[in-house]
Amino acid sequence: MKDFKAKVVLIVGASSGIGRVLALRLAAQGAQVVVTARRKDRLDALAAEIAERGGACDVFAADAQDPVAAEDVIRECLRQHGRIDLLVLNAGGAPAIDMRSMQAQEVTAYMRSNYDVAVNYLFPVLHQMRRQGGGLVAQTNSLAGFLGVPLQGPYSAAKGALRLLIDTCRVEFGIFGIRFVSLYPGFIATEATASDGMPAPREMSEDKAVDHIMDALRSERMDTMFPRSTAWLVRLSSVLPKAVVARILRNDVPPAPTPPPAIGVANHV
């Protein structure tokens, strides 16, 4: 994937942030970009900007949590272009969320919005890539997928699950010429993170993050972690005793919020 010219690229989660900047970069290099997200007005604005710069972009608004809607996007993309050379899974995210005040359904909701949104596109595209003889899948994961980050428990869990899923896909789908690139950014300064309530040490700009992503796509490096300083700390946490890591991370935990209401206990005779 050293040359993106005429490649069909489907980007899931392209209405803002990293996905939007990546769409602009790939279109500028001659890719036929297909973008999807929930906010059609944002996607239309992106397509117009790409067209003004001489690029090509198709827009399909859909909710990535809906597997039927995801399949419809893929079907329409294939109807127009016949193949998908590169799939970029970039949907998801979460504000600061303290599990000590959450109910089970809230936890699973964040899992759906960060795990299901990838799976719903991943498997239909994998089967298409198998039919067409190969392709490249890139998934924007997170350094939070390697350890339990305070105020990001369900998000970290979803990203950890995706990390293992993609690693297993490498084994099972690699024989069909399908390659996988996992991207592990730290804190990125995007519109969504500006007011998410999370502390953001060593925060990186969207453009700088996309520089790393473009390099990873060209080289098809399996795992790319950035920025380097934060990635080093995450790697260090994998070799330290868990008790030590927990004690360090606990320094970033705010005072405990009010617990959720108690579950009523029925009286049985």
In this predicted model, what pLDDT tens digit does every residue of 228-246 receive, in sequence order? Answer: 888 888 888 888 898 988 8
Query: Residue 206: is its pLDDT beyond 80?
Result: yes
C-alpha distances in angstroms, 130 versus 1, 82, 134, 139, 173?
Answer: 17, 13, 6, 18, 8
- Say if CB 8 and CB 77 are below 8 A apart: yes
Q: Phi and psi of 193, rounded to 5°?
A: -90, -10
pLDDT at 44: 98
Q: For the ranges 64-73, 156-165, 233-242, 249-258, which has the lowest average pLDDT? A: 249-258
Return the pLDDT at 230: 86
For residue 221, CA distances in Å to 8, 125, 249 come to: 20, 20, 30
What's the rounded Cα separation, in Å, for the pair 223 and 127?
Answer: 23
Of 70, 69, 47, the C-alpha closest to 58 is 47
Model pLDDT, residue 2: 81
List the 135-140 sheet strands across, edge first: 56-61, 32-37, 8-12, 86-89, 135-140, 178-185, 223-226
Neighbouring residues of 66: CB distance < 8 A, sequence distance ≥ 6: 120
Total-model pTM: 0.89
Residue 192 — very low, low, confident or very high, per pLDDT cuts 50/70/90? low
How much is the average pLDDT of 122-126?
98
Distance CA 154, CA 131 (A): 35
- State the catalytic residue, choosing from 110, 121, 155, 184: 155
Is there a contact between 102 and 94 (Cβ–Cβ < 8 Å)? no
Residue 131 pLDDT > 70 = yes
Contact yes or no for 171/180 (Cβ under 8 A): no
- Averaged pLDDT for residues 180-196: 80
- Taking each helix axis from N to C end, the angle separating 153-173 and 117-132, rounded to the nearest 10 degrees, works out to 10
pLDDT at 76 over 70: yes
pLDDT at 214: 97
**Is 155 one of the catalytic residues?**
yes
- Tell me the CB-side half-sphere exposure of residue 187, using CA atoms within 13 A: 18
pLDDT for 238: 85
Answer whether residue 47 shows pLDDT above 70: yes
Contact 35, 48 (CB under 8 A): no
Burial category of 258 from C-beta neighbours within 10 Å (exposed 0-12, middle 13-18, buried 19 and up): exposed
Q: What is the band of 195 on the pLDDT scale with cuts at 50, 70, 90? A: low
Q: What is the mean pLDDT of residues 87-99?
A: 91
Checking if the pLDDT of 194 tops 70, the result is: no
Residue 125 has pLDDT above 80, yes or no: yes
| Range 122-147 average pLDDT | 96
